[in-house]
Structure 1
Amino acid sequence: MIFRQLFDSTSSTYSYLIASRRGAEALIIDPVLEKVDRYIKLLNELDLRLVKAVDTHLHADHITGLAELRDRTHCITAMGEQTKADVVSMRLADGDRLTIEGVGLDVIYTPGHTDDSYSFAMEDRVFTGDTLLIRGTGRTDFQNGDPRQQYDSIFNRLLRLHDDTMVFPAHDYKGDTVSTIGEERRNNPRLQVPSVEAYVELMNNLNLPNPKMMDVAVPANMHIGLHQEEVAQKGWSVSASAALGLLGRPDVALVDLREKTERERHGTIPGALHIPYTAIDDNVRPGGVLHQLGAMQKLAFFCAFGERSAMAVTSARDAGIASAIHIEGGIDAWKKAGGPIER
C-alpha cells in the first residue's frame, strides 16, 4: 500500500494520501487548499489517479482543498451526511465503506468536536480527524460540538478498536505523527476520567480562544462551489421535474453514476443503467459503451446531488457525445419532485 502523511505547518494539519499501488486510484483525507499543488505533484510522481477527496469534518482552522482538487482532477468529494457544506459529491453515513481500487475504509460517525465529525478505519489504522488527537481530544465548544457526544464517540467507538490500531489525527501541535489506540487509552490525559460527567466538566472548562482562521475558514468550507451552474448555462442540464418526462422514453438512457452502497440505501430511477462515476472516462471516449450508446440515445446522467453528473456530462460532451445532459440536483431533487424510486 502507498501511504503518505503530509503536513501543513501553518494550520498544523495532517493530510493523508492512500492508494493500493503505483498506477492505481488514490484517496486524500483532509486536504488543505494551500497544499494542492504539492498533492498534485506527488500524485503525478507516484502515477496515481485521485478519485476521492474526503474531509473528516467541517474545518475551522484552514480552508479545505476539496473544491480545488475537484476542479483540477474531477475527483469525487465526500463528507459525512450531516455536513453543512453546500456541495459534496458523496455524503457518507455511519457503517458505510469508503472505497477506492484495492482499499476500503470503514466509516464511523464520531460527533462531539463538531456535529459532522467522522473517523475512517482500516485494518491497522484509523483516521480520527479532530475527535481523538495524540494525547488530546478536539475541542467541543463550537460548530454544534458536544462533550457528551465526544465521550461516547471516543470511549464507545474508537477505544473499542484493537489496541495496536495506529491513530492518525487531523492535527498535531507538538510534532507527534502517530500513536495507537492502546497508547492513547493509557497515556492521553483527557481520557483518564472516571465518568462522562467528569469528561463534560473537563471539556466545558478549557476556555480556549477561537481558531485564528475560524471566521474565514468556516464560511469558505461551507461554500465549496457548484459545477452545476456552469453546466446549466451551457444548456446541458434538465431540472428534476422536467426529467420526469424522460422516464420510459426509448430514445433516452438514464445513467446512474453512484456507487453500489448509495443505490442500495437510496434506491434508483427505474430502468437506469449503472456506470460508476470513476469509470466514466473509459466509457465516454470513442469505443466506450456510453459513446456508442450516445450515438443512438440521449444520455441523461444523474448521481446523488448532481455534482458527479455535472462533471460526467462535461466529459461526455468533450468526448463528442452531443446529446448528453444531466439531472440537476441528482436523485435528491428527483425524490423531491415526486419521481418514482426503484429499490
Structure 2
Amino acid sequence: MIFRQLFDQTSGTYSYLLASRRGGEALIIDPVLEKVDRYIQLLRELDLKLVKAADTHLHADHITGLGALRDRTHCITIMGEQSGVDVVSMRVSEGDRVKIEGLALDVLYTPGHTDDSYSFLLPDRVFTGDTLLIRGTGRTDFQNGDPRAQYESIFGKLLKLPDETLVFPAHDYKGDMVSTIAEERAFNPRLQVASVDQYVDLMNSLHLPNPKMMDVAVPANMRVGLAQAEIARRGWAVAPGDAMALIGQPDIVLVDLREQQERDKHGTIPGSLHAPYSDLEDNVRPGGLLHELVASTSKRLVFYCAFGERSAMAVQAAQDAGLASSCHIEGGLGAWKQADGPVATGRRHG
C-alpha cells in the first residue's frame, strides 16, 4: 500500500493519501484547499490517479480541498449522509465501504464532534477525523456537537477496535503523528472517565474559543457542489420530470454511473444500463462500451448518478469524446425521487 500523511501547518490538519499500485487509483482523506497543488504534484510524482476524495466531517478550521480536487481531477467527492453540504458525488453511511482498486475502507458513523462525523477503517488503521485525537478528543460545542454521542462513538465503536489499530486523526497541534487504540485508551486524559455523565461534564467545561477560520470555513465548506448550471446552459441537462418521458424510448439509453453498493441501497431507474463512473474514460473513448453503443445504434446517452455531479462530469467527457447527443439528469437520483420518478429496488446487477 502507498500511504502518505500530509500536514497543513496553518490549521494543524492532517490529510492522507492512500493507494494500492496496479492501476494507480488513489484516495485522499480530509484535503485542505491551500495544499491542492501539492497533492496534484505528489499524485503526478507517484504516478497515481485520484479517483476519490473524502472529508470525515464538515470542517470549521480550514476550507476543504474537495471541490478543487474534483474540478482538477474529476474525482468522486464523498461525505456522510448527515452532512449539510450542498452537493457531493457520494454520501455514505455506517456499514458502507469506500473502495478504490486494491483497498476498501469500512465506514463508521462516529458523531459527537459534529453530527456528520465519520471514521474510515482499514484492517490495521483508522482515520478518526476529529472524533478521537492523539491524547485528546474533538470539541463538541458547535455544529450540532454532542458529548454524549461522542462518548458512544469513542467507547462504543473506536475503542472496541483491536489494540494495535493505528489511529490517524484529522488534526494535531503538538506534533504527534500517529497513535494506537491501546495508547489512547491508556493515556488519553479525556478518556479516563468513569461514566458518560463524567465525560459530558468534562467536555461541557472546556469553554474553548471558536476556530479562527470558522466564520469563513463553514459557509465555504457548505458550498462545494459542482456548478451543474453550466452543463444545463449548454443544453446537456434534462430535468427529472422531463426525463421520466424518456423511459422505454427506443433511441434512449439511461446510464447509471453509481457503484453497485449505491444501486443496491437506493434503487435504480428502471431499464438503466450500469456503467460505473470509474470506467467512464474507457467507456466513452473509441472502442469503449458507450462509444460503440452510440456509434452502432445512434442511441442517445442519458447519464445519471446520485446527485448529478458524476453525471455532469460524464456528460462533459462524453461530449469531448464526440458523443454530442449525450445529456444527464439534473440532480441525479435524489432529484428523480423528489419528482416521484419510478425506482426499481432490490439487488440487481447489470
1:98 corresponds to: 98
Q: Which runs of 5+ in 2 are unaligned?
A: 346-350
Matched, 1:335 2:328: no
Q: Are the aligned partners of 1:23 and 1:46 in contact in 2 as well (CA < 8 Å)?
A: no
| Of 218-227 and 242-251, the range deviating more from structure 2 | 218-227
The 5 A counterparts of 1:70-149 are: 70-149=70-149
1:190 corresponds to: 190
Q: Are the aligned partners of 2:23 and 2:101 in contact in 1 as well (CA < 8 Å)?
A: no
Per-residue deviation, 1:225: 3.4
2:31 corresponds to: 31
Q: Once the two structures are superposed, what CA deviation does each residue of 1:255-282 show, in whole Å capped at 9, x if it has no partner?
A: 0000011000000011100011011011
AA paired with 2:146? D
Q: Once the two structures are superposed, what CA deviation does each residue of 1:207-253 show, in whole Å capped at 9, x if it has no partner?
A: 10000000000000001132311100100000000000000001000
Q: How many residues of Structure 1 are paired with residues of Structure 2 in the alignment?
A: 343
The 5 A counterparts of 1:28-67 are: 28-67=28-67
Poorly superposed stretches of 4+, deviation over 2 Å? none
The 5 A counterparts of 1:191-230 are: 191-230=191-230
| Distance in structure 2 (CA, Å) of the matches to 1:225 and 1:110 | 24
AA paired with 2:246? L
| Distance in structure 2 (CA, Å) of the matches to 1:219 and 1:22 | 39
| Distance in structure 1 (CA, Å) of the matches to 2:247 and 2:118 | 37
| Distance in structure 2 (CA, Å) of the matches to 1:27 and 1:123 | 16
Per-residue deviation, 1:19: 0.2
Q: Are the aligned partners of 1:294 and 1:324 in contact in 2 as well (CA < 8 Å)?
A: no
| Distance in structure 1 (CA, Å) of the matches to 2:229 and 2:32 | 25
AA paired with 2:239? S
| Of 313-322 and 21-30, the range deviating more from structure 2 | 21-30
| Distance in structure 2 (CA, Å) of the matches to 1:249 and 1:217 | 46
TM-score by length of 1: 0.99
The 5 A counterparts of 1:267-282 are: 267-282=267-282
| Distance in structure 1 (CA, Å) of the matches to 2:294 and 2:326 | 7
Per-residue deviation, 1:41: 0.3
Per-residue deviation, 1:45: 0.5
Per-residue deviation, 1:23: 4.4
Q: Are the aligned partners of 2:88 and 2:225 in contact in 1 as well (CA < 8 Å)?
A: no
Q: Are the aligned partners of 2:28 and 2:52 in contact in 1 as well (CA < 8 Å)?
A: yes
Q: Are the aligned partners of 2:225 and 2:309 in contact in 1 as well (CA < 8 Å)?
A: no
The 5 A counterparts of 1:149-188 are: 149-188=149-188
